[in-house]
Amino acid sequence: MPAPGEPNTDATAPPTGLVARPKTTGLHVGDAAPGVKKVDPIIVADGVRRQFGGLTAVDVEHLEIPRGAITALIGPNGAGKTTLFNLLTGFDKPNEGTWTFDGRSLSGVPAFKVARMGQVRTFQLTKALGLLTVLDNMKLGATGQRGERFWAGMIPAAWRKQDSAIENRAMELLAKFKLDAKAGDFAASLSGGQRKLLEMARALMSEPKLVMLDEPMAGVNPALTESLLDHILDLKDQGMTVLFVEHDMHMVRHIADWVVVMAEGRVVAEGDPYSVMQDPAVIDAYLGAHQELDLGVVTGRYAPEEADVTTDAAASAETAAAQEEILAEALAEIEEEEK
C-alpha cells in the first residue's frame, strides 16, 4: 500500500482504503487458456453464437464459470460481453449453442425461469422503476411469492404472511446496504452509487446462487466505491458465485478471482487477474496501437504470421506503461477527492 498521500502506483495493490481479501485459487484444471476446464463449474457454455445481421456478436466455443468465486468478464467496447450476459440469462436467444447452469440446461429457458433457478442479474433502474419506492423495488425482486398466483389472492391470510416475510427480508437487506432510511423514497431520488446498491440488494431478494452484475461501478461516486466492492466480496463470503462485466481494471484486479477476456465475440484469454493483465494480447485488445491487427490475431481472424511481432511487442510494452500511468492518475484523483 502507498504511504498516506502518495499515489498508489502499484497495480497489484488494492485501491486506497480497501483491505485485500484472500483470492479463491485452484479454480481450473490444466493451463489457463480460453475454454479451460474448471474444477467445479456453475455455468458451462458450448458453441454459443449470436449474430446480428452479418455481425457475429458472440462466438464462444467453450466457457466454464467457476462456482463460489468472483469472475470478471472484460473486453473492449463491442466485444460481446453484454450480448453474452443477455444470452446466459435468457434475455436473448442465440443462433446456436447450449449451456447449463448448475448442471441443468438453460437453452431456451426464459429469463423469469432462469431467475427462479437461482441465477439473477442486476438491472439498471429504468424510468418506470424509478417511480416506485425503494421498498417496492425490493419487493419486485422477490420470486416465487405465493401472491403471484391468482389463487393466492383468494387466501388473504396466506398472502399477508408471505408479504410480511418479503418485507422483512427487504428491510434486512436495505439495512445491510445502508438504504433502510430511504425505503419510502422514490428510487429515482437515489444517487448513482445508491442505485447500484439498490440494484444489487434487489437481486439478492431471490436468494440466488449466481449473481450477475453488469458494470457495477459505472457512474459510482468514489465515496461509495469501497462499500460497493465490499458488498460484492461479501456475496462470495456468503457462498454465492459472482460474474460481472466491468471496464475498471483496478476494480477487476482487486475483487476478481478469475478473469475472462472477450474480443470480437470470442474468449481470447482466461486466468487469474494478475497473469491475464500481463498478457500482451489482452493489453493490445484494449489499447494496442495496432488494434485491428492484434485483435484479428488473437481472435483467429488473421494468421499470426501476418502480425509484426517486434512492433507489436514494443507497442504492448508502451501501452502497458500508458495503462499504468492512467490508473495511477485516476487513483490520485480519487485520493484527492476523498481528502
Ligand X SMILES: Nc1ncnc2c1ncn2[C@@H]1O[C@H](COP(=O)(O)OP(=O)(O)OP(=O)(O)O)[C@@H](O)[C@H]1O
Position 23, amino acid: K
Task: Say how many C-beta atoms besides its own lie within 10 A of residue 301's C-beta.
Answer: 14
> Minimum distance between the CB of residue 101 and ligand X, rounded to whole angstroms?
20
Where does 205-308 have alpha helices with state H? 222-237, 249-255, 273-278, 280-287, 291-298
When the beta carbons of 15 and 265 are compared against ligand X, the nearer one is 265
CB crowding 103-135: b at 16 or more within 10 Å, else e:
eeebbebeeeebbebbbbbbeebeeebeebebb
> Minimum distance between the CB of residue 73 and ligand X, rounded to whole angstroms?
8
Answer yes or no: are the C-beta atoms of 268 and 285 closer than 8 Å: yes
> Minimum distance between the CB of residue 142 and ligand X, rounded to whole angstroms?
28
When the beta carbons of 91 and 186 are compared against ligand X, the nearer one is 91
> Minimum distance between the CB of residue 241 and ligand X, rounded to whole angstroms?
20
Cell numbers 493490445 label which residue? Answer: 284
When the beta carbons of 58 and 293 are compared against ligand X, the nearer one is 58
Q: How far apart are the first and last CA of the chain?
A: 17
When the beta carbons of 68 and 78 are compared against ligand X, the nearer one is 78
> Minimum distance between the CB of residue 110 and ligand X, rounded to whole angstroms?
18
| Distance between CA atoms of residues 28 and 198, nearest Å | 33
Answer yes or no: are the C-beta atoms of 121 and 85 closer than 8 Å: yes
Interface contacts to ligand X, rule CB under 6 A: 52, 55, 57, 75, 77-83
When the beta carbons of 55 and 314 are compared against ligand X, the nearer one is 55
User: What is the grid cell recorded at 17?
Assistant: 482504503
When the beta carbons of 75 and 94 are compared against ligand X, the nearer one is 75
When the beta carbons of 187 and 276 are compared against ligand X, the nearer one is 276
Q: Kind and range of the H or E element at 72? A: strand 70-74
Answer yes or no: are the C-beta atoms of 215 and 184 closer than 8 Å: no
> Minimum distance between the CB of residue 55 and ligand X, rounded to whole angstroms?
6
